[in-house]
Amino acid sequence: EAQVTQNPRYLITVTGKKLTVTCSQNMNHEYMSWYRQDPGLGLRQIYYSMNVEVTDKGDVPEGYKVSRKEKRNFPLILESPSPNQTSLYFCASQEYRGTDTQYFGPGTRLTVL
C-alpha cells in the first residue's frame, strides 16, 4: 500500500530537549515536504526536498532542521524545541514536481512545555 508514515504520532516534551520526527514514504517519490498546521494560520511549509541531499527552506524554517540522506526518509529535527513549536506537523511526498498529487502522512501532534 502506498503510504507516508510519521513517527511519533503524539509527543509531549519539554523546552530544549532535542527531538526528531521521522517521515518515510514507500512510493519512490523525489519531492518531500514538512508542514506545520496551526489554528487560524493554516498549513505552512517548513522545509522541502527535491531529491537526496537537496533541501531548501519553506516559509517557516526557523528552529527546524531536515536531512535527506535516502530517498524514502525525510526526518524533521528540532534541536532545541520551544513552546511556539507546539503544533500539528505533516510530512508529504509527491512524485516529482508541483503538478503531482501530494500524499500526506497522518500527522504528528507535538506539545512543547
Partner 1 sequence: RKEVEQDPGPFNVPEGATVAFNCTYSNSASQSFFWYRQDCRKEPKLLMSVYSSGNEDGRFTAQLNRASQYISLLIRDSKLSDSATYLCVVIAYSGAGSYQLTFGKGTKLSVIP
Residue 28 φ/ψ region, left for φ over 0, alpha for ψ in the -120 to 50 degree band, beta for the rest: left
Q: Which residues bind partner 1 (CB under 8 A)?
A: 33, 35, 40-45, 50, 56, 90, 97-99, 101-102, 104-107
Cβ–Cβ under 8 Å, residues 82 and 15? yes
User: How near is the Cβ of 23 to partner 1 at its closest, in Å?
Assistant: 12
User: How near is the Cβ of 112 to partner 1 at its closest, in Å?
Assistant: 19
* Comparison of 36 and 64: residue with beta carbon closer to partner 1: 36
Distance (Å) of CA 57 to CA 54, 91, 105, 106 = 11, 14, 20, 22
Question: What is the identity of the amino acid at 90?
Answer: F
User: How near is the Cβ of 21 to partner 1 at its closest, in Å?
Assistant: 14
Question: What is the identity of the amino acid at 49?
Answer: S
* Comparison of 75 and 105: residue with beta carbon closer to partner 1: 105
* Comparison of 50 and 77: residue with beta carbon closer to partner 1: 50
